[in-house]
Amino acid sequence: MEDVARVAGVSHQTVSRVLNNHPNVSSTTRERVEQAITELGYRRNTAARSLVTRRSQTIGVLGSEMAQYGPSRTLLGVQQAARDSGYFVSIASLREVTPASIKDAIAHFMDQGVDGIVVIVPHPGTFEVLQDVTAHVPLVAVGSAGDERLSGAMVNQRQGARLAVEHLVELGHTRIGHLSGPADWIDAAARIDGWRDAVTEAGLEPGAMIEGDWSAECGYRAGLSIAQERTVTALFVANDQMALGVLRAFHESGVQVPSDISVVGFDDQPESAYFIPPLTTVAQDFEELGRRSIDLLVERLEGGDPRPAVTVEPYLVVRSTTAAFSN
């Protein structure tokens, strides 16, 4: 920094202000300092800086099931938001979710000296384990309502399921089935509850429910069974990948979508608009979820108290797999 200051003809403090984006620096001076930085190839010594600030500018992200669309997109959203806030991300992905593996990963982050930790582990029991963890940094649990110790950020999964069902009810469907995600996923359980609540509130009996595993292959097998039994006129599918398999099975079985049966997915993957037919689905804003998670963490780092979960609201994207029911 002293070399940069000498070349730019400014003080050491002015270089520091430029590096920290301080507003009280003229554009001419800022340009001169930035030119000197480029000329000298200056890079901050983050290790030395952390000794002074007691900050590593690194956030730990603990995740699992990263091959799945939801967790992977959530991770990307958190990573982008962290970089926008001036932080790097250190990622630990769990092969199996156990209390021991969660505690080991948290301990690893503490050894790294991270400033805070975001947890993306979508299984029941995760947040109870976090209550027993000794971590002297803020924690944000994605998918949790939070409490006096943990901050939480979540998508309103129940509301997303309700939007799907209410759309089908408005179209005149009275037999609405559900192809769910795995029962040991928090989001899957919330979508089941939302589907069941919305159907009941409409004065209907819930249609058949099949438990899936998020994969297109599972959706295909379930679709063949549903096509054979024909006990529902509409199907709410807990993610778009399973919906893709369902559509393939219906096509092979001669079931026309949406004239014979309507289908609604969940996630709004980029490919969903190009399914045949294009899929009606519930969209989640993962970038917003990431931003809010990082905002909560930065707020805690600046001395704020944990607060109840911030909630990202999903919305319905209507395409071509849903239509009015006709006998």
Per-residue pLDDT reduced to its tens digit, 299-316:
888 887 777 789 999 999
* Sequence-separated (6 or more) residues with CB below 8 Å from residue 164: 195, 198, 236, 264, 266, 282, 316
Planar angle of CA 243, 246, 251, nearest 5 degrees: 130
In a shared domain, residues 131 and 117: yes
In a shared domain, residues 181 and 233: yes
Within 10 Å of residue 250's Cβ, how many Cβ atoms?
22
Average per-residue pLDDT for the chain = 91
- Per mean pLDDT, which range of 8-17, 45-54, 105-114, 258-267 is the poorest? 45-54
Kindly list the distances between the CA atom of residue 161 and the CA atoms of 37, 56, 187, in Å, as whole numbers in the listed order: 52, 40, 10
For the chain, the domain total comes to: 3
Tens digits of per-residue pLDDT, 163-208? 999 999 999 999 999 999 999 999 999 999 999 999 999 999 999 9
Q: Residue 317: what pLDDT?
A: 98
Within 10 Å of residue 166's Cβ, how many Cβ atoms?
16
Mean pLDDT, residues 131-144: 84
In this structure, is residue 319 part of a structural domain? no
Q: Residue 48: what pLDDT?
A: 53
Q: Residue 133: what pLDDT?
A: 81
Q: Identify the residue with better confidence: 280 or 51.
A: 280
In a shared domain, residues 207 and 294: no
In a shared domain, residues 290 and 148: yes
Q: Residue 209: what pLDDT?
A: 97
Residue with tokens 């507003």: 23
Is the peptide bond prior to 99 cis by the omega test (within 30 degrees of 0)? no
Mean pLDDT, residues 127-150: 81
Q: Residue 117: what pLDDT?
A: 94
Tens digits of per-residue pLDDT, 234-250? 999 999 999 999 999 99
Q: Residue 54: what pLDDT?
A: 59
Dist. CA 160–CA 317, nearest whole Å: 11
Contact 178, 233 (CB under 8 A): no
Whether pLDDT at 51 is above 60: no
Q: Is the dihedral of CA 175, 181, 183, 188 positive or negative?
A: negative
Is the peptide bond prior to 308 cis by the omega test (within 30 degrees of 0)? no
List the CATH number of the domain containing 78. Answer: 3.40.50.2300
Whether pLDDT at 124 is above 80: yes
Whether pLDDT at 161 is above 90: yes
CA-nearest of 133, 81, 31 to 297 is: 81
Q: Residue 170: what pLDDT?
A: 98
Planar angle of CA 223, 123, 89, nearest 5 degrees: 110
Domain that holds residue 303: 55-155+286-312
